[in-house]
Structure 1
């Protein structure tokens, strides 16, 4: 997959089959659109193109609202789309100027003149242009003028999987990991570098890797203990993850840590990826480290049972 970080970098391709959207989560609903995109490209000997935006439009249009957290970072999203076999990913820097284009200017200048769109696939509720005034009818009306076909994914097709990025975010924030994973079609994951903690876990037999997330907009699930798998140097390991402020030692900052089972390799400074499978329990303050140690032994047993078939 070729990635372009500005639409000006893209050179029009023959028979470009295009879809547009933020695609946060690259979930099962999105995959309905992507499947159709690839089918059409195969039929016409074309190439698939996804036009997405970064930052997320809400971050630019409503900067005062810091509540939006995204399921994927832009790098995670790109990796997921590459796995699905997309040919071209255009990551357009979203700005107020970009959002102020009229629907026709957007179609003419971006979709036709720059990308060379021959077919465009959109969801039933896709909106674009200034004040999100453009819709399927505008694309259809101008298709003859600019020489492209429009394929709409009906509401029923997308609703068959009853999923939205908003629903997945809510599930993750409420600890409903299995529900979120069912909607995503893959385990929710985070990616970050391993930083040095205060190594208290080592003193009670449960050393942890502290995962540092650079992107402040990345959604982090609710506090607690989770069953997890950790990808280190391309190899998957089972483990139990912890998110919280470590109340037993009167911690202040919110940490993301994982105890990787049967693992003693030095990985400080390395990037790892952690997949979440189950919410095991909430964050609890214990009467000292000995009480925490006893509970962690129970948690490990619970996690191993949950991951037995994973």
Structure 2
């Protein structure tokens, strides 16, 4: 897969099958679009192309109090896109200049100029161009002049609910990480840096690694205890994670800490790790004594072992 980060030095194509969009979260609805692109491209023996944006357009266009927290970094998006068999991915740096292009200028000067698509697959709700004037329907009008056909992909639903980035955010914020991962089509998680903590876990015989997301705008699950899967230097580590304020110790500072069940061969401080949230175990709770907390942690650990069997 060839990746272009920016509009310079693109090797132009004589023809292609193409899609474009923010692909926020790269959920199962987005995956349906991409699969159609790749399938059609192979059928007509043309390169498959995907155009996406970084940062999320709403980070540029919206007020600061209306900016969505991140479901994934652009690097995570590219990592997952690699698995679909796309030939080319263009990451357009989304700026006010890009946002102010008319829909027709965007199609002509960026899409057609570089990739000359013969067929475009687009999601039912994707808009582009100045003031979001470009729509799947208007794209059909533009395509009549540009010489390509358009396939509009309808939403993917599950149990009567349309799968969308907004819905998935709501699920994660409510702690329904297993459901959100099902709708995403990948286990929700993010890269983090291990930082120094207070050492509470080690005192309880449950040593933990405190961590913070690499991106300050990362969406976090609801406070509570989770069964997790970590990735450290290519090694897969299962464990349990707590997000919250550790009320048993009457602390107020929000912390994220993970206890790995595997033996860690080295000090993780300062290292980059990936934490994936498999299932939520329970709410964070204040216990009357440290001994009662330790008893609960043993119960949590055993429950995690049962959950992990489904992921092994």
Residue of structure 2 in register with 1:231 after alignment:
231
| Contact preservation (8 Å) 2:191, 2:214 | no
Q: How does 1:71-150 map to 2 (within 5 A)?
A: 71-150=71-150
In 2: Cα distance, 1:258 partner to 1:111 partner: 44
Residue of structure 2 in register with 1:5 after alignment:
5
Alignment of 1:208 onto 2:198: no
How much does 1:12 deviate? Answer: 1.4
Q: Which moved more, 1:282-291 or 1:163-172?
A: 282-291
Residue of structure 2 in register with 1:250 after alignment:
250
In 1: Cα distance, 2:167 partner to 2:144 partner: 37
| Contact preservation (8 Å) 1:240, 1:260 | yes
Residue of structure 2 in register with 1:295 after alignment:
296
> Across the two proteins, how many residue pairs are aligned to each other?
308
Task: Report Cα offsets for 1:27-62 as digits up to 9, x if no partner.
Answer: 111111011010111012222221111111111111
- Where 2:175 maps in the other structure, the secondary structure is coil
Residue of structure 1 in register with 2:282 after alignment:
281
In 2: Cα distance, 1:152 partner to 1:261 partner: 47
- Where 2:106 maps in the other structure, the secondary structure is helix
- Residues 262 and 125 from structure 1, CA distance in 2 versus in 1: closer, same or farther, beyond 3 angstroms? closer
TM-score scaled by structure 2? 0.92
Task: Report Cα offsets for 1:169-191 as digits up to 9, x if no partner.
Answer: 10010011121121112211121
| Contact preservation (8 Å) 1:239, 1:259 | yes
Residue of structure 2 in register with 1:46 after alignment:
46
Alignment of 1:269 onto 2:270: yes
| RMSD of aligned alpha carbons | 1.8
In 2: Cα distance, 1:11 partner to 1:144 partner: 25
Specify every segment of 5 or more residues in structure 1 that has no aligned partner in the other structure, as ranges.
Answer: none
- Residues 203 and 66 from structure 1, CA distance in 2 versus in 1: closer, same or farther, beyond 3 angstroms? farther
How much does 1:67 deviate? Answer: 5.1
Residue of structure 2 in register with 1:30 after alignment:
30
| Contact preservation (8 Å) 2:14, 2:115 | no
Q: How does 1:133-172 map to 2 (within 5 A)?
A: 133-155=133-155, 158-159=156-157, 162-172=162-172
Specify every segment of 5 or more residues in structure 2 that has no aligned partner in the other structure, as ranges.
Answer: none
Task: Report Cα offsets for 1:104-152 as digits up to 9, x if no partner.
Answer: 1111111111333232110122211111111223222222322222222
- Residues 9 and 287 from structure 1, CA distance in 2 versus in 1: closer, same or farther, beyond 3 angstroms? farther
| Contact preservation (8 Å) 1:118, 1:148 | yes
TM-score scaled by structure 1? 0.93
- Where 1:126 maps in the other structure, the secondary structure is coil
In 2: Cα distance, 1:153 partner to 1:208 partner: 45
- Where 1:141 maps in the other structure, the secondary structure is helix
In 1: Cα distance, 2:294 partner to 2:108 partner: 63
In 1: Cα distance, 2:8 partner to 2:118 partner: 19
Task: Report Cα offsets for 1:62-84 as digits up to 9, x if no partner.
Answer: 13225511211121111111122
| Contact preservation (8 Å) 1:211, 1:257 | yes
| Contact preservation (8 Å) 1:15, 1:44 | no
- Where 1:9 maps in the other structure, the secondary structure is coil
In 2: Cα distance, 1:144 partner to 1:211 partner: 52
